[in-house]
Amino acid sequence: MKKILTLFIASLTLLSCKQNGKREIILPRSNGNTNSILVVMKGDDWLSKPGDEIRRVFGEHQVGLPQPETLLSVDQIDPSGFSKFIRNNKAVLLFQKGDSVGISTEYDKYAAPQIVIKATYKDEYDLVSIIKNRGKEIIQLFKDQDVKYTQGIFKREKIDVSKLGTVNNLGLDLIIPERYRLVQDTLNNFLWMRQHLKSGIARGDGTNNILIYSLPLGDETKIVDNITAVRDSIGKIFIPGSKEGMYMITEQAYTPFTYETKIDGKKAYETRGKWEVKNDFMAGPFLNYTIVDKKNNRLVVFEGFTYAPSVNKRDFVFELEAIAKSLKIK
């Protein structure tokens, strides 16, 4: 009986507490995987044009991956079923008919951490239009929240990067989970860290890898054109294969995609593509951020690459993205 009473009191503590004389509700922990969302939409809409538009926009493939994988994984539920623990999903896209047309965002509404994006519409035309015209914006909101969520997890298990010679020498700070192990640190201008993956068919063999280095800034108009050449030269020097003459290069049969972005508020270029080992069969996706550090007249490069044969790689690359976006230049 005493044990039951203790459990009962503990459950009440989880639901609420008092702070400054006021009752504060403690939200339940959210559930759901990264890069996954729950769409709350009527079944008839899901099986007609609005649902088709969601599958088209949200089903776009992530570039740079060997196998086709969507930007987000999407599950759907009818509004009548959106209750109880279902509402605790960490990423919800809620469609609701109303007197206005638009989207709004609310955080930690039913659980924490959580993002709920509400899309209001008057008729089917408005509903389809919202998805078509604001779909990419909605995807980015979910992606940004997932980055913050993942970084929050990594913060609880991060290594002391000030002890890494290259990071310290370059004046950087970033969040790297402690499961990454040092492969090489020149203590000056090149760092390689590796995490052995523990899931799927690649168990024991798959790895996630982080490279950090810098180079002189030079002609800014040629940065994008030189990204592939630079990473190939780094691969030749630092990333050898199993035999002489083998080293990591950019896959020649696949043209990488480069986009302008920002890291730590600074202009940067995000490049996604595939790597391979010259004269060997190893290959996989890579993610490269080349950051323009004008203050120090240099480029700071963060690159992540994944080796995970026979399994999907989107979420592995996403973890590398979350680490990269935590980078700060002191």
The reply to whether 146 and 201 lie within a common domain is no
Determine the Cα–Cα distance for residues 303 and 271; give it in Å rounded to an integer.
9
Helix (H), strand (E) at residue 265:
none
Q: What is the pLDDT of residues 246-297, one digit of tens each?
A: 999 999 888 999 999 999 999 999 999 999 999 888 999 999 999 999 999 9
Of 140, 155, 170, which closes a domain?
Answer: 155
Residue-number span of the structural domain to which 48 is assigned: 15-155
CA triple 296-297-303, angle to 5 deg:
85
**CATH number of the domain encompassing residue 116:** 3.30.379
The reply to whether 84 and 140 lie within a common domain is yes
The reply to whether 195 and 318 lie within a common domain is yes
Per the structure, how many domains does the chain have? Answer: 2
Beta strands of 172-206 (E only): which ranges?
172-173, 181-185, 190-196
Is the per-residue pLDDT at 5 higher than 60?
A: no
Is the per-residue pLDDT at 9 higher than 50?
A: no
The reply to whether 128 and 220 lie within a common domain is no
Half-sphere exposure of 210 (CA within 13 A, CB side): 30
- DSSP secondary-structure letter at 205? T
Residue pair 269/258 in contact (Cβ under 8 Å)? The answer is yes
Residue 142 lies in a domain: yes
Where do the H-state alpha helices sit in the chain?
2-15, 43-46, 49-58, 124-155, 165-170, 223-238, 314-324
Task: Quote the mean pLDDT of the chain.
Answer: 91
Residue 9 lies in a domain: no
Residue 7 lies in a domain: no
Helix (H), strand (E) at residue 22:
strand 22-25
Predicted local confidence at residue 1, as pLDDT: 39
The reported pTM is 0.89
Is the per-residue pLDDT at 15 higher than 80?
A: no
Q: What is the pLDDT of residues 61-117, one digit of tens each?
A: 999 999 999 999 999 999 999 998 999 999 999 999 999 999 999 999 999 999 999
Of 120, 136, 155, which closes a domain?
Answer: 155
Determine the Cα–Cα distance for residues 317 and 69; give it in Å rounded to an integer.
12
**Backbone dihedral angles phi then psi of residue 245, each to the nearest 5 degrees:** 90, 0
Taking each helix axis from N to C end, the angle separating 49-58 and 124-155, rounded to the nearest 10 degrees, works out to 40
- The pLDDT of 206-214, averaged and rounded, is 96
Q: What is the pLDDT of residues 217-229, one digit of tens each?
A: 999 999 999 999 9
The reply to whether 187 and 321 lie within a common domain is yes
Of 120, 135, 155, which closes a domain?
Answer: 155
Instruction: Estimate to the nearest angstrom the gap between the alpha carbon of 258 and the chain centroid.
Output: 17
pLDDT > 90 fraction of the chain, expressed in percent and rounded: 83
More confident residue, 203 or 20: 203
Q: How many CB atoms lie within 10 A of CB 195?
A: 20
Residue 8 lies in a domain: no
The reply to whether 124 and 204 lie within a common domain is no
Identify residue 195 by its one-letter amino acid code.
Q
Is the per-residue pLDDT at 16 higher than 70?
A: no
More confident residue, 203 or 213: 213
More confident residue, 19 or 144: 144
Residue 4 lies in a domain: no
The reply to whether 50 and 176 lie within a common domain is no
- DSSP secondary-structure letter at 26? P
**CATH number of the domain encompassing residue 219:** 3.40.1000.10
Residue 76 lies in a domain: yes
First and final C-alpha spacing in the chain? 57
Residues 6+ apart with CB under 8 A from 47: none
Is the per-residue pLDDT at 200 higher than 80?
A: no
